């Protein structure tokens, strides 16, 4: 708990202050006279979502940051492409956001390892109509993208070689390991633990200078046995801890699985406790999902703990593209124990939160949110989380920002930092990060609603109508960089159209009123 943040109209600017210990008695956000703050006019909640909403260019060439947890929604996309309707839980906002560059609005230079910038835009969501404004909390860093190099990597691959992995899933894993072996650089080392019919160290930690030995051991992996993920992870973490004790760099376990544990403890709590304890000892966990029947629920929960993230490789080409672009950042933890507190301004309420992995979210006494994110990873894309705001019932919102946010986090070694921002309505063309983020929030909330209507309520007509409205919205908005999203939504709409009994209709025929014949 702390006192309500000072009125933002009185703030002149933000700065970030490094503190060795979190011992400040003053709970007001740190300010500096260097950058004057000009309040924007009152938000017009009736503004059109689609027209006139583009797009200022991105800013400086620094690295970005993204919360841990799911780093894509590739599993959901693969199921949609196969003509299925995925479970609502597979549409993770943080996974969707991580696939896109969501830069902060220009105007602030980040002067510490992790900074935040807030901005807002009017909203009218298909899946959550009560949201009247979307607020972006963008993450930035002071790390130069041109000169950054990751630390030497002690990587322990833990491979599920059980019977369910035979064929394409294990082939994808082996191709991934071959690719990783080629991408590792001098100073790195690789070990391989296998679990299935038995759990054993298949390849002891080996320097990448001996690539021939690495590739030979990778090729020798064969499928057999049940799925004792608990034993595989336990040995993998043990190998990483022992080898990391004498390694100058970072240690990480990379778990490859179709995530169907059936031997040993299979509850999420035991795996999460194991991963959290390993991270406290300096060993992080990247989960790589493979296979058409990947069970994303358990893996998503494990990946939300400290040091954890998750990716899905539906096929070899996708794997090659992702690893080429993101291997170095997937294994690079930036900050820990991120504590975020958001307070709405008088007359506003928070009605949505999107992009936070895990369940560490609670309401404050003043109607705000207190949010915990265990790990933030470095990224070559700019990351963000988003919030939905609405006017309080019966209230007339005051002019100016919709709310404020305060951030605290620590870096490796325990040094703590803090930062603060406010959510300021934007004037004129929207910055590209805010425009994309607003469309992505619209997408993920509508996809979840459509999937719930299909899987939970058995309302196929309602599910199709939601997907159809979303497809029309994305097509009309035409936000640059979201072309793949329109393709995914159109594919889901087609599946739901058939399931709802409209299979004989011409696509687009229901875009006109059946009585008047006029466009809807």
Tens of pLDDT, residues 40-90: 333 333 333 333 334 433 445 789 999 988 888 888 998 999 999 998 988
Q: Which two tokens stand for residue 69?
A: 């947890």
For the chain, the residue count is 520
What distance in Å separates the CA atoms of residue 462 and residue 466, rounded to the nearest whole number?
6
pLDDT exceeds 50 at position 21: no
Lowest mean per-residue pLDDT among 172-176, 314-318, 337-341: 314-318
CA triple 330-179-199, angle to 5 deg: 80
- Nearest in space to 114 (alpha carbons), one of 351, 383, 356, 364: 383
Q: What is the mean pLDDT of residues 360-368?
A: 90
Lowest mean per-residue pLDDT among 218-227, 275-284, 350-359, 496-505: 496-505
Q: How many CB atoms lie within 10 A of CB 84?
A: 14
For 433, phi then psi, to 5°, come to -65, -40
Burial 124-159 (b: 16+ CB within 10 A, else e): bbbbbeebbbbbbbbbbbebeeeeeebebbbbbbbb
Per-residue pLDDT band for 216 (boundaries 50, 70, 90) equals very high
Q: Which pLDDT belongs to residue 299?
A: 65
pTM of the model: 0.80
Residue 237 neighbours by CB under 8 Å, 6+ apart = 156, 253, 274, 278, 283
Segments of 214-332 assigned E as strands = 250-257, 283-290, 308-313
CA distances to 9, 42, 426 from 398, in Å: 11, 7, 16
**How buried is residue 38: exposed, middle or buried, by Cβ count under 10 Å (0-12/13-18/19+)?**
exposed
Q: Which pLDDT belongs to residue 413?
A: 82
Lowest mean per-residue pLDDT among 13-27, 290-304, 504-518: 13-27
Lowest mean per-residue pLDDT among 1-15, 204-218, 263-277, 305-319: 1-15
Per-residue pLDDT band for 513 (boundaries 50, 70, 90) equals low
Lowest mean per-residue pLDDT among 314-323, 329-338, 343-352, 473-482: 314-323
pLDDT exceeds 60 at position 434: yes
Q: Which pLDDT belongs to residue 126?
A: 95
Q: Which pLDDT belongs to residue 258?
A: 79
Q: Which SS3 state, helix, strand or coil, does residue 386 take? A: strand
Q: Are strands 153-160 and 250-257 parallel, antiparallel or unpaired?
A: parallel
Contact 385, 92 (CB under 8 A): no
What distance in Å separates the CA atoms of residue 377 and residue 383, rounded to the nearest whole number?
10
Q: How many CB atoms lie within 10 A of CB 459?
A: 15
Q: Which pLDDT belongs to residue 318?
A: 87
More confidently predicted of 443 and 425: 443
What distance in Å separates the CA atoms of residue 417 and residue 16, rounded to the nearest whole number?
7
Q: Which pLDDT belongs to residue 102?
A: 94
What distance in Å separates the CA atoms of residue 201 and residue 191, rounded to the nearest whole number?
8
Average pLDDT of the residues of the chain: 82
Whether the CA torsion 27, 29, 34, 40 is positive or negative: it is negative
pLDDT exceeds 60 at position 34: no
Per-residue pLDDT band for 518 (boundaries 50, 70, 90) equals low
Contact 164, 416 (CB under 8 A): no
List the alpha helices (DSSP H) in 88-167. Answer: 93-98
Lowest mean per-residue pLDDT among 161-165, 239-243, 350-354, 470-474: 161-165
Q: Which pLDDT belongs to residue 253?
A: 96
Q: What is the mean pLDDT of residues 393-412?
A: 90
H or E stretch including 339?
strand 333-344
Q: Which two tokens stand for residue 132?
A: 């009247």
Q: What is the mean pLDDT of residues 225-241?
A: 88
User: What residue has token string 């979190």?
Assistant: 22
Q: Which pLDDT belongs to residue 412?
A: 84
Lowest mean per-residue pLDDT among 235-239, 272-276, 280-284, 352-356: 272-276
Residue 25 neighbours by CB under 8 Å, 6+ apart = none
What distance in Å separates the CA atoms of residue 490 and residue 72, rounded to the nearest whole number?
19
């Amino acid at each position: 708990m702390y006192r309500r943040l000072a009125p933002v109209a009185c703030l002149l600017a933000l700065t970030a202050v490094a503190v060795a210990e979190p011992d400040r008695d003053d709970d007001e956000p740190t300010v500096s006279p260097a950058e004057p703050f000009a309040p924007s006019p009152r938000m017009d909640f009736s503004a059109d979502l689609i027209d006139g909403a583009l797009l200022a260019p991105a800013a400086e060439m620094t690295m970005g940051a993204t919360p841990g947890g799911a780093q894509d929604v590739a599993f959901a996309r693969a199921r949609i492409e196969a003509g299925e309707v995925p479970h609502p839980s597979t549409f993770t906002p943080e996974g969707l956001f991580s696939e896109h560059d969501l830069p902060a609005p220009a105007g602030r230079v980040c002067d510490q390892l992790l900074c935040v910038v807030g901005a807002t835009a009017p909203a009218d969501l298909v899946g959550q109509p009560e949201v009247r404004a979307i607020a972006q909390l963008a993450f930035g860093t002071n790390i130069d993208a041109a000169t950054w190099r990751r630390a030497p990597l002690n990587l322990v691959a833990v491979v599920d070689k059980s019977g369910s992995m035979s064929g394409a899933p294990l082939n994808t894993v082996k191709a991934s390991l071959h690719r990783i072996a080629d991408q590792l650089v001098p100073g790195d080392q690789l070990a391989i633990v296998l679990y299935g019919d038995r759990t054993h160290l298949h390849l002891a930690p080996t320097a990448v200078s001996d690539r021939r030995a690495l590739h030979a051991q990778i090729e020798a992996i064969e499928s057999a046995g049940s799925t004792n993920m608990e034993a595989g992870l336990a040995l993998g973490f043990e190998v990483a801890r022992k080898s990391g004790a004498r390694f100058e760099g970072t240690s990480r376990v990379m778990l490859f699985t179709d995530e169907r544990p059936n031997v040993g403890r299979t509850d999420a709590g035991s795996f999460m406790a194991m991963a959290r304890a390993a991270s406290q000892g300096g060993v992080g966990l990247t989960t790589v999902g493979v296979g058409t029947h990947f069970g994303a629920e358990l893996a998503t929960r494990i990946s939300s703990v400290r040091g954890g993230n998750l990716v899905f490789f539906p096929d070899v080409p996708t794997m090659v593209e992702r690893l080429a672009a993101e291997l170095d950042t997937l294994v690079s933890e930036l900050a820990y124990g991120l504590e975020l507190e958001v307070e709405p301004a008088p007359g506003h309420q928070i009605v949505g939160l999107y992009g936070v992995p895990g369940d560490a979210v609670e309401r404050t006494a003043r109607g705000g949110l207190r949010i915990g994110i265990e790990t933030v990873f470095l990224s070559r894309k700019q990351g963000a989380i988003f919030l939905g705001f609405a006017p309080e019932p019966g209230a007339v919102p005051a002019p100016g920002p919709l709310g404020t946010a305060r951030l605290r986090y620590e870096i490796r070694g325990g040094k703590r930092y803090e930062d603060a921002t406010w959510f300021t309505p934007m004037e004129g063309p929207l910055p590209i990060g805010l425009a994309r983020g607003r469309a992505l929030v619209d997408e993920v909330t509508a996809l979840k609603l459509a999937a719930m209507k299909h899987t939970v309520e058995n309302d196929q007509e309602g599910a199709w109508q939601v997907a159809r409205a979303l497809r029309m919205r994305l097509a009309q908005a035409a936000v640059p960089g979201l072309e793949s999203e329109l393709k995914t939504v159109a594919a889901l709409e087609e599946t739901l159209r058939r399931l709802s009994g409209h299979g004989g209709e011409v696509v687009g025929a229901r875009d006109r009123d059946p009585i008047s014949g006029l466009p809807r």
